[in-house]
Amino acid sequence: QVQLQESGPGLVKPSGTLSLTCDVSGGSISSNNWWIWVRQTPQKGLEWIGQIYHSGSTDYNPSLGGRVIIAIDKPQNQFSLTLTSVTAADTAVYYCARDSTSGSYFDSWGQGTLVTVSS
Amino acid sequence: DIVMTQSPDSLALSLGERATINCKSSHSLLSSSNSRNNLTWYQQKLGQPPKVLIYWASNRESGVPDRFRGSGSGTDFTLTINSLQAEDVAVYYCQQYYSTPRTFGQGTRVEIK
């Protein structure tokens, strides 16, 4: 059973850069799955940030205005999220997840990590 | 983007009653390539990540109790929880898989009266 675990700073200053890593265990990041970042706020609910395949192909949510980069590190079996020029609106619980092989749902999720944007 | 709208926002029922949650999408989720509706239902309990209940609109994920049933096609979908149990207290979300960006409904909170 694959397990995912997010890590990174819990506090980021406004206009700074948010960086999170998702460690994947119990499975290979080179498997036939997309790897996902989702965030959740009380105001906007669940928001899909983007995804990456082990080939390096990515797909991002246009609502984030080009501020997102998702990268993959095969030797470390992990993937990462970088979000630049953050504001208070980026305060959220950030989840990493795995898309099912059939591409029909997110079948594994990390526990989530709260990131607060504040000076 | 495909907009997903759930109703109601919250629901309070007695144990054993039936819960009905609706989800409407702004675009048909029926895929012409596989004739499946690209609609997933998740359950999120307090302090936990979402957990998949139903995929392809009506396929129950392994291990999900059979009191959870998904139905619908095109733009209108329903999650039914038959005989509500205490452990079903949660927020339920629909999500479309038809296109990116993937989008979620705003959630429906289910409580016990």
Beta carbons of B95 and A47 less than 8 Å apart: no
Cβ–Cβ under 8 Å, residues B110 and B15: no
Cβ–Cβ under 8 Å, residues B81 and B66: no
Q: Contacts of residue A45 in chain B, CB cutoff 8 Å?
A: 93, 104-107
Instruction: List A residues 44-83 in contact with B (Cβ-Cβ < 8 A).
Output: 45-48, 51, 59, 61-63
Task: Kindly indicate the confidence band of residue B88, based on its pLDDT and cuts at 50, 70 and 90.
Answer: very high
Residue A108: enclosing H or E segment and its boundaries? strand A106-109
Question: What's the pLDDT at B30?
Answer: 96
Question: What's the pLDDT at B22?
Answer: 98
What whole-number percentage of chain B has pLDDT above 90? 98
Question: What's the pLDDT at B14?
Answer: 97
Q: Which residue of B has its CA nearest to A50?
A: B101
Residue B24: pLDDT over 80: yes
pLDDT, tens digit, 9 for 90 and up, residues A15-48:
999 999 999 999 999 999 999 999 999 999 999 9
Q: Contacts of residue A106 in chain B, CB cutoff 8 Å?
A: 40, 42, 50, 52
What integer is the mean pLDDT of B48-57? 97
Question: From the list A63, A107, A112, which residue is nearest B52 (CB)?
Answer: A107
Q: Contacts of residue A102 in chain B, CB cutoff 8 Å?
A: 55
Residue A103: pLDDT over 80: no
What integer is the mean pLDDT of B59-66? 96
